[in-house]
Structure 1
Amino acid sequence: MSVIDTIQPVTHDLGQFQVRRALPSRGRTMVGPFIFVDEFGPATLDIGAGMDVRPHPHINLATVTWLFEGAIDHRDSLGTYVTIRPGQVNLMTAGSGIVHSERSPQEERDRGAKLYGMQTWLALPDDAQEVQPAFEAQIGLPIVEDSGAHATVIMGELWGTRAPTTTHAETIYAEINLAAGGTLPIDAEADERAVMLVGGTASIDGHPLDPYVLTVLAPGAAMRLASDGGGRVMLLGGEAFQTKRHVWWNFVSSSRERINQAKDDWRAGRFPLVPGDSDEFIPIPDQPNTVSYP
């Protein structure tokens, strides 16, 4: 059996585009270090409209932004100001605490902003949860090609090729593009792995992949992705965490007390401000959309 679980995402309709959240779910909180998996778009917004995610905090995790189309301006409390574009992985390590915002650049708004990509969070290992906050953007990522397929290694090591992106736990993350009739083997080394079809059609060992469903693969089994008509598939996973992680809103930690402290700190204004974007912020919600389940 190559597939051990399928997770239907929860879809959030934000008006002009949709966000599909596969993790955390009631049946599974994590796949390797991945504890939050969002897919958004594809969408083209009205002229003048854009994405505006106001400043908000994170702790004890790393966010990974990967775009297929469009652009996003990232600002954070370290003073980082970067425009995220396709082919560039943006890794923000929250560690002991960081604040950031994500907004569509003005030039995108002027022509009709495109939104299509992935936002994922990685839980940090026990001994790295409170590391100093950091940000990095990597371009020129390694490409692996085989039988009508090419894959971009975003994080970790796959097919003997390692990406330069920082990892705190063993991680695999890749975008796989299959031409019509293309195939690609999937490494069997990770503790936990999953795939998500984000465009076109594809199957894994003859099992058809449904769009935007997170398909969790059996550990240790060598498998092959294939597509009759062409498709785009995200592969993610890595080492299984032995310590439970809790999720509440934008906070992830092995300690509920640490999350409660972060709530108090955000309410009291003890997190740092985002230079260039400090006039607005997202308040603590009464009932957040993102939670872990008992």
Structure 2
Amino acid sequence: MSNIDLIIEERASDIGNFLVGRLLPFRKKRMVGPFIFIDHMGPAHLPPGEKLNVGPHPHIGLSTLTYLLEGVIRHRDSLGTDIEIRPGAVNLMKAGKGIVHSERTPPSHIAEDKIVHGLQIWLALPKEIENSTPEFTHVEAKDIPVLKEEHLSIRCVLGEFGGMKSPVPMHSPSYMLELKADEDVEVNIGDELFGESGLYVIEGSVETDGHVFGEKQLLIAKESTLCSFTLKKNSMAFIFGGDKFPEERFIYWNFVSSDKETLESAKTKWKNHQFPDIEGETDRVPLPAEKR
């Protein structure tokens, strides 16, 4: 296992009425490049009448990236955005100095039998734009470039790869690739990667240096440019990473910052209803109780 520095197993985490598998942050590896938080949602079966229902909650100092494999989620935020995200599309919300959003099953889907499956990702912002104006970008699935080779497809979700460039805006040098194989296939793409790199097996398995790694495992590379492995038949994996920030990042609840005082200020603002509101939504996710 010459190029594997760390293996991280998914850990169950409760986000209200929904259980997810948390990958980052991890006690031995807080970030991979700018990626500071990754939750694997589902696949969760929601029968008629049940719904995803994450009420208004705030963010600062990061960009959220939502990527669905199955299902549909309605995103609303304090910028006035009201949009449904579907499989293969990308929602990127730059929180900057502060934004509030909600994530719910659309009303038209509540009565249906449904599955929710995808990734919720946070990318920390560079220090110079941590306090910038919030922005929201939605990119449809058809606009995400795909490179198809024999038995292998590579979607460039974020960044640049193989002559492709994702239309999803980047705030620091980074990348995220979705790989799918319909037969066992050798993958050797390290020459286009940089910085820190992680490989997450979401379906099937990968083999490297004689070892097989299955679903719900995140492999952290010692050296991104040495990234080579066998993606097994009917498998899907994500490769992500980028340049490491020179400063440490601190995280509390939904807040990320290079400055601890900024986190304390965000706590106070949320308690005192000083974040912007989402029009027509009055329920709020409360600040977690402080641990003693």
Letter of the 1:143 partner, please give it.
V
Equivalent residue runs for 1:1-294 within 5 Å: 1-12=2-13, 18-139=19-140, 140-188=143-191, 189-204=193-208, 206-276=210-280, 278-287=281-290
Unpaired segments ≥5 residues, structure 2: none
Evaluate the alpha carbon distance shift between residue 19 and residue 219 of structure 1 in structure 2; reply closer, same or farther with a 3 A threshold: same
Structure 2: how far apart are the matches of 1:84 and 1:162? 21
Evaluate the alpha carbon distance shift between residue 16 and residue 267 of structure 1 in structure 2; reply closer, same or farther with a 3 A threshold: closer
Structure 2: how far apart are the matches of 1:86 and 1:237? 22
Letter of the 2:50 partner, please give it.
A
Structure 1: how far apart are the matches of 2:230 and 2:109? 34
SS at match of 2:110: helix
Unpaired segments ≥5 residues, structure 1: 289-294
Structure 1: how far apart are the matches of 2:20 and 2:199? 17
Letter of the 1:146 partner, please give it.
E
Contact 1:193 1:238 in 2 (8 A): yes
Contact 1:60 1:123 in 2 (8 A): yes
Contact 1:70 1:116 in 2 (8 A): yes
Alignment identity in percent?
36
Contact 1:154 1:165 in 2 (8 A): yes
Structure 2: how far apart are the matches of 1:147 and 1:222? 22
CA drift of 1:23 comes to: 0.7
SS at match of 2:131: coil
Corresponding pairs, count: 287
Structure 2: how far apart are the matches of 1:262 and 1:84? 28
Structure 2: how far apart are the matches of 1:56 and 1:41? 21
RMSD: 1.8
Contact 1:49 1:113 in 2 (8 A): no
CA drift of 1:16 comes to: 8.2
The farther-off stretch of 100-109 and 90-99 is 100-109
Evaluate the alpha carbon distance shift between residue 187 and residue 221 of structure 1 in structure 2; reply closer, same or farther with a 3 A threshold: closer
Letter of the 1:110 partner, please give it.
A
The farther-off stretch of 253-262 and 158-167 is 158-167
Structure-2-length-normalised TM-score: 0.93
Contact 1:146 1:183 in 2 (8 A): no
Letter of the 1:193 partner, please give it.
S
CA drift of 1:138 comes to: 0.9
Letter of the 1:259 partner, please give it.
L
